[in-house]
Amino acid sequence: DRPPAGFQLQSASRAASFAEQKRLARERGRRKVLQRQQTQQREEKEEGEKVAKAMASSTMQKEVKNAWTAAAGGGSRTEEAQEEEEDGEAVEGLMRTTTGTESFEEQKRLAQERGKQKAMEREVQRREQSRLAAEARKAEEEKAREQEAIERRRQEAEARRKKEEQEARARLEAEIAARVRAEQEEKDRERQSRRMKGMQLCEDAKAAAEKK
């Protein structure tokens, strides 16, 4: 019942050949998978480097713009550009450290979401600063109005005091002048009376002398 020896050798040879073919096929499959992974990682790395270079170029342009703005007296934009630069560096670091399991599109989406979140946070902070600045200006204006009212009342009180002093001085001077006039008139009347008496005495003496 046994097959011939030649048939057994041929069967063993075919089995060995099939096993070798399977092994070679698995090796080729692993190499292809590895090559695809390496190609994907290389492409993602190249894309990440492109994005990093673009961000670095954009950051450099913003730094030059901020330098011109600061030289023109507009340094308020420098802080915002610096925040954007820090965001870009953070995104670049995120892309560099992200493993190959995440695609570039996912990295870009995460970077965009992070940028939107940062922009929203800056907008909220800007509005809060604007609100606080408006409240501070309102408080300063109210304080200035109160100071103006206090100064106005002080000036009005000072003006009333000076007016009252002037009126009192005028009344006192008028009273003194009236007393001086009255005393002078009294002296004039007394002097006139003495003169009249003197003239009368002279007339009487003259008349007496004529009688003798």
**Residues 94, 98, 101: CA angle, nearest 5 degrees:** 150
Q: What's residue 74's pLDDT?
A: 45
Q: Which amino acid is at 95?
A: M
Gap between the Cα atoms of 133 and 138, Å rounded? 9
Instruction: Check residue 151 and give its pLDDT.
Output: 95
Would you kindly state where each structural domain of the chain is located, as residue ranges? Answer: 26-102
So what's the pLDDT on residue 27?
Answer: 84
What is the distance between the alpha carbons of residues 82 and 62, in angstroms, rounded to a whole number? 8
User: Nearest 5 degrees, angle CA 109-CA 57-CA 45?
Assistant: 50
Dist CA 185 CA 86 (whole Å): 100
Q: What pLDDT score does 77 carry?
A: 46
Pick from 74, 69, 80, 59: nearest CA to 123: 80
Q: Mean pLDDT of residues grouped by 10 in the chain (212 residues)? A: 51 68 81 83 76 61 55 48 55 50 70 86 91 92 94 94 94 93 92 87 80 70
Query: Are the CB atoms for 63 and 89 separated by under 8 Å?
Result: no
The predicted model scores a pTM of 0.33
Residue 68, pLDDT score? 53
